[in-house]
């Protein structure tokens, strides 16, 4: 490749040192050429202006910056569904959560039930037993290592129906 570029430069530099002639053909057109003719006039060209290239230092590779981890687009409570009535006299309820994309190893899931925080860690499911009858509210969130909430789900309300004693 270097040989090709060097050859091209030499060819163009030879063309720049050639003489240029100006003549008028039989139709009255002005013609510029490097071939002299009897009625051609030699054109004096000014010296070409050149600029010295700046010195180039050694190349140091800089790797591209690491891409940030993708942001979470969704946290969803899959079950129980919103405004569902659950009949279970033992008060058993299983909560299932989905994240999009999957939970990163540095983050954790947190479940809020009736305003109380329950840390789930990496688990996307939690079974509860002995819950009081009545209406309960759930909300799931993803928290990073600094304690910041990165994404939160919409609240889900469910009604636990148990026989009264």
Report the pLDDT value the prediction gives residue 158, as an integer from 0 to 100: 95
Task: State if pTM tops 0.85.
Answer: no
Which residues, listed in sequence order, are joined to residue 87 by a DSSP beta bridge? 161
Q: What is the CA radius of gyration of the chain?
A: 40
Report the pLDDT value the prediction gives residue 9, as an integer from 0 to 100: 66
- The domain locations on the chain are 18-45, 74-161
Look over the chain and give the mean of its residue pLDDT values, rounded to a whole number.
88
- Taking CA atoms, 48 is separated from 42, 105, 157, in Å, by 17, 65, 82
Report the pLDDT value the prediction gives residue 44, as an integer from 0 to 100: 83
Q: Which portions of the chain are predicted below pLDDT 70?
A: 8-18, 165
Report the pLDDT value the prediction gives residue 17, as an integer from 0 to 100: 57
Report the pLDDT value the prediction gives residue 165, as an integer from 0 to 100: 63
Report the pLDDT value the prediction gives residue 116, as an integer from 0 to 100: 93
Asked whether the beta carbons of 146 and 154 are under 8 A apart, the reply is no
Report the pLDDT value the prediction gives residue 113, as an integer from 0 to 100: 94
Asked whether the beta carbons of 99 and 122 are under 8 A apart, the reply is no
Class of domain 74-161: mainly beta
């Amino acid at each position: 490749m270097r040989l090709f570029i060097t050859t091209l430069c030499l060819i163009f530099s030879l063309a720049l040192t050639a003489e240029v002639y100006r003549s008028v053909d039989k139709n009255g057109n002005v013609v510029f050429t490097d071939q002299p003719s009897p009625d051609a006039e030699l054109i004096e060209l000014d010296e070409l202006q050149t600029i010295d290239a700046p010195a180039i230092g050694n190349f140091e590779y800089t790797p591209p910056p690491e891409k940030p981890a993708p942001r979470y687009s969704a946290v969803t409570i899959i079950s129980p569904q919103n405004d569902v009535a659950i009949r279970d006299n033992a008060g058993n309820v299983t909560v299932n959560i989905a994240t999009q994309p999957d939970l990163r190893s540095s983050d954790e899931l947190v479940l809020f039930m009736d305003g109380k925080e329950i840390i789930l860690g990496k688990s996307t499911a939690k079974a509860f037993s002995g819950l009081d009858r009545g209406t309960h509210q759930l909300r799931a969130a993803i928290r990073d290592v600094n304690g910041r909430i990165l994404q939160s789900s919409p609240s889900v309300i469910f009604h636990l129906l148990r026989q009264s004693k």
